[in-house]
């Protein structure tokens, strides 16, 4: 039994060392990822804007930032991490900051106004649209919400949801996913390290306990062997 405990302890120590080494490697890779993401953010030089009280603002007002935050947290149901929004570090380099910047672009796209010019009269569903310039409100419409056959909506859709808008939103989405993945990697490396340390401590404990237990026993040779005792019992009347 003691030998089995010692063998189990040795196995746990080996397993624990493997887990700890794996956690160290994973942690190093995560830090490399953070460094790369930081360098990417710095090269883009996109920052959020805060007022002197440390409140987010958009186009000079907190009301604008509040409307964007409502889009992000209510309409999109995104769980913003408040600690990610740091006025002392306005660089967009965390998941919540990337998502807020994405919501900013989306908000101004959704509630902007586009200038549509018709070079000739056009008819649609029994209505005539004379040639001229029109101011078309996007009115909260996403790309799929427009009637692309409509003389005004169809053109306004392409102007509002341009390739630039889609490209910026897609790029910010990649940043969000990257940062979230790195956070998951950091958490997994911590869990792996915890399992490794637990296995190491348990293994060393079993080894120590088996050695302590073994020292309690002293094996002295028997004064009378079993065969001698049987002969003695047989000869005794």
- H or E element in which residue 137 lies: strand 132-137
Q: How many CA atoms lie within 13 A of 225 on its CB side?
A: 3
What average pLDDT does the segment 118-132 reach? 94
Per the domain annotation, does 12 fall within a domain?
no
> Does residue 216 lie within any of the structural domains?
no
Lowest mean per-residue pLDDT among 40-54, 56-70, 123-137, 143-157:
40-54
Position 223 in a domain: no
DSSP 87: T
Instruction: Answer yes or no: is 1 within a domain.
Output: no
Using a 10 angstrom Cβ sphere, with 0-12 exposed, 13-18 middle and 19 or more buried, the burial of residue 49 is: middle
| Rounded percentage of the chain residues whose pLDDT exceeds 70 | 89
Inter-helix orientation angle 95-110/163-215, to 10° = 160
**pTM: predicted TM-score of the whole model, two decimal places:** 0.73
Q: How many domains does the chain have?
A: 1
pLDDT digits (tens, 9 = 90+) for 60-108: 999 999 999 999 999 999 999 999 999 999 999 999 999 999 999 999 9
Helices (H), the chain: 2-44, 62-70, 95-110, 153-160, 163-215, 226-235
| 99 closest CA partner among 67, 129, 125, 73 | 73
Is 168 within the bounds of a domain? yes
Pairwise pLDDT comparison (101 vs 38), residue with the higher score? 101
CA distances from 200 to 13, 31, 194, 205, 208 (A): 5, 25, 10, 8, 12
Q: Which of 6-15, 58-67, 167-176, 203-212 is predicted with the least confidence, judged by mean pLDDT?
A: 203-212
**Domain assignment of residue 56, yes or no:** yes
**Could you list the residue range(s) of the whole structural domain that residue 177 is in?**
46-184
The span from the first CA to the last CA of the chain, in angstroms, equals: 42
CB 84 within 8 A of CB 180: no
**Which alpha helices (DSSP H) does 45-94 contain, by range?**
62-70
Position 223 pLDDT exceeds 70: no
Does some domain include residue 195?
A: no
């Amino acid at each position: 039994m003691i030998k089995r405990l010692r063998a189990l302890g040795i196995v746990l120590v080996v397993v624990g060392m493997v887990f700890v080494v794996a956690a160290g490697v994973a942690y190093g890779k995560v830090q490399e990822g953070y460094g790369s993401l930081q360098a990417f953010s710095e090269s883009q030089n996109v920052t959020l804007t805060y007022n002197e009280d440390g409140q987010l603002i958009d186009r000079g007002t907190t009301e604008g930032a509040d409307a964007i935050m409502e889009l992000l947290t209510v309409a999109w149901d995104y769980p913003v991490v408040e600690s990610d929004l740091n006025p002392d570090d306005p660089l967009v380099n965390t998941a919540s900051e990337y998502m807020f910047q994405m919501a900013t672009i989306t908000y101004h796209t959704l509630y902007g106004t586009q200038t549509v010019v018709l070079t000739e009269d056009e008819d649609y569903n029994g209505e005539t649209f004379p040639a001229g310039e029109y101011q078309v409100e996007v009115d909260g419409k996403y790309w799929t919400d427009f009637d692309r056959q409509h003389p005004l909506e169809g053109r306004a859709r392409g102007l509002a949801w341009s390739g630039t808008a889609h490209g910026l939103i897609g790029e910010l989405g990649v940043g969000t996913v990257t940062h979230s993945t790195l956070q998951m990697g950091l958490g997994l490396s911590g869990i792996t390290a915890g399992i490794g340390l637990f296995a190491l401590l348990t293994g060393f404990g079993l080894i120590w306990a088996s050695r302590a237990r073994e020292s309690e026993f002293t094996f002295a040779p028997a004064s009378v062997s079993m065969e001698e005792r049987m002969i003695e019992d047989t000869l005794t009347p």
